[in-house]
């Protein structure tokens, strides 16, 4: 197994594994350490994995989360089909932060890719926080943000209170201790105790810091890529430049 860094801020690739045949404990520990160090990793050449293989590997990371309002693919609870980019997936976000316990990790396996386009951008929320002044960092540590589910939750008939959560604006990673910004434009509606109008200037500034080029890595998908990211320390957004070609990826998320 070989691990190579892909960008300055975050991102690494893992070569030499065949997860369809399982993974030894020592190798898994090295992969997990690489993820915590790099925020996002790509395990190359995993096209031979079946849905059962993906679920079995995902279970090594923790409890598999079933999405409350987006259905799994038939026969495989926990695997969600990701396809055409849309306004939600094209916005910088962490997955399902409207949940009381947001996802810890996401595993996304490429199944069908367009000839070009539909790259995925990743950003280090740790680097974004580190770039702020000590005074702003100190103030942000005292704040909480209100996260609310998207319109898809209402369309599925879920009660609004079931998809609302309040989280710290700055979150310390449970394994590394690194502090990261934990606000995103998909789910955050306001700072807790502030009005939306009061919240917006600060939130927009923070979103801008997260998306700075120097905090990002652009993943250009290859057949068989299995990309894993840490939702506690990163955000992601798809580049919506697909021109009608099919794009299918299988997503599994791990409960926080």
Which residues are within 8 A (CB) of 109 and not within 5 positions of it... i.e. 6 or more apart? Answer: 46, 49, 54, 225, 226, 227, 249, 250, 251
Can 93 be counted among the known catalytic residues? yes
Indicate which residue of 67, 167, 171, 251 is catalytic: 251
Indicate which residue of 67, 95, 225, 232 is catalytic: 95
Indicate which residue of 111, 147, 236, 247 is catalytic: 236
Indicate which residue of 93, 98, 103, 232 is catalytic: 93
Can 175 be counted among the known catalytic residues? no
Can 53 be counted among the known catalytic residues? no
Can 119 be counted among the known catalytic residues? no
Instruction: Return the percent helix, strand and coil in the chain, to nearest 5.
Output: 25, 30, 45
Query: Which one, of 95, 102, 145, lies nearest residue 120 by Cα?
Result: 95
Please state the length of the chain. 256
What is the C-alpha to C-alpha distance for residues 151 and 148, in angstroms, rounded to an integer? 9
What is the C-alpha to C-alpha distance for residues 21 and 243, in angstroms, rounded to an integer? 36
Catalytic site positions? 93, 95, 236, 251
């Amino acid at each position: 197994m070989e691990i190579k860094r892909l960008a300055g801020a975050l991102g690494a690739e893992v070569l030499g594994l065949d997860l369809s045949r399982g993974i030894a404990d020592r190798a898994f520990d090295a992969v997990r350490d690489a993820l915590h160090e790099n925020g996002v990793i790509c395990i190359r050449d995993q096209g031979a994995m079946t849905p059962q293989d993906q679920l079995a590997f995902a279970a090594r990371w923790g409890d598999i989360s079933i999405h409350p309002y987006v259905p799994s693919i038939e026969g495989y609870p926990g695997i969600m089909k990701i396809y055409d980019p849309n306004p939600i997936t094209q916005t910088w976000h962490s997955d399902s932060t409207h949940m009381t316990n947001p996802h810890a990790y996401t595993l996304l396996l490429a199944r069908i890719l367009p000839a070009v386009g539909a790259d995925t951008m990743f950003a280090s929320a740790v680097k974004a926080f580190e770039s702020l002044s000590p005074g702003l960092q100190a103030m942000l540590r005292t704040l909480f943000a209100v996260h609310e589910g998207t319109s898809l939750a209402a369309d599925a008939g879920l009660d609004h209170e079931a998809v609302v959560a309040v989280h710290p604006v700055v979150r310390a990673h449970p394994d590394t201790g690194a502090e990261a910004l934990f606000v995103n434009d998909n789910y955050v509606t306001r700072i807790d105790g502030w009005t939306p109008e009061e919240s917006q200037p600060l939130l927009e500034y923070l979103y801008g810091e997260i998306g700075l080029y120097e905090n990002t890595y652009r993943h250009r998908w290859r057949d068989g890529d299995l990309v894993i990211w840490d939702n506690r320390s990163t955000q992601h957004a798809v580049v919506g430049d697909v021109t009608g070609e099919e794009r299918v990826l299988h997503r599994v998320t791990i409960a926080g």
